[in-house]
Amino acid sequence: MSGLVSSLRKFFLHMPETFQKSTNLRSLSALAQSSCQFQYDLMKQDNCIVVDNYDNALSVATKEECHFKEGLLHRAFSLFIFRQVPNSEDLELLMQRRSPSKLTFPLLWTNTCCSHPCTNYVGETEERNAVGVRRAAQRKVEHELGIDSSRQLLLENIHFLTRIKYSAHNEPVENDWCEREVDYLLVSIVPAYVKTDSSTFLKINSNEVAESEWTKEHSINTAFSNDPYIYTPWFRKVVRMGLLHRMFNWAAAKVTNNVAFPSLDKIFDRSSILEFD
């Protein structure tokens, strides 16, 4: 435990001054110490779906087994929730900065929610139309961000676009944890009637999330150009491959019923898996 806190201190002190001003070091260390046991417990109790290179289910293993040392290739999802900016056609993406107590990739910024379908939960192994993965996204977005999935993130409003396959060693803390995933990219657009700025929309779980913000694409691109390593490895890959730009375009066309939507939708191949180095 003390090793994690020490590593976080080093990481924090080498970050830009603007980052340091937004993060209280004493609070960060205290949170890491109090919350890490919770994360270890989840690693041992949640069971992931181990897959082959083609996303065929092979077996079941704990999150710990899937993420320790070289890890096991397993099924995962990355959810991107967009909203339309009032009085504009611009969209914003809900971003989160991972909690300092996370065992993997603490304090890095990433997309709205990233996790796994687990065999512990009813219906998350169903593969038809990526239903199981989408159910897992509903569960986790409520757990991490407090978004009411029964009213604000309906299953039919979570759209599966494509899959990516990647692996990454832990950052910014150097230890034995890793990611090795076939990752489903999911997109949802918050309905216009939902008040996303109200305190009832987001109720952040500090064990999972340090902070969140709605961000325009150009702001992400600017921050990424300045320092891509404030983001998780999978988010960096999505940006560099142009997938984030395509998702912004897809969501914008869908929300405005643009005639270009069918052609933008065809860009995403649901049957293939994009491999990232």
- Catalytic residue positions, numbered: 114, 181
Q: In whole angstroms, what is the distance from residue 8 CA to residue 28 CA?
A: 8
Cβ proximity of 98 and 32 under 8 Å: no
User: Which runs of E-coded beta strand occur in the chain?
Assistant: 47-51, 57-62, 74-84, 91-98, 109-110, 113-115, 159-169, 178-189, 209-216, 273-275
**What are 125's two structure tokens?**
């192994």
Residues 6+ apart with CB under 8 A from 130: 160, 184, 186
Count of residues making up the chain? 277
| Burial class of residue 127 (count of CB atoms within 10 Å of its CB; 0-12, 13-18, 19+) | middle
Residues 6+ apart with CB under 8 A from 45: 62, 120
Q: In whole angstroms, what is the distance from residue 131 CA to residue 125 CA?
A: 8
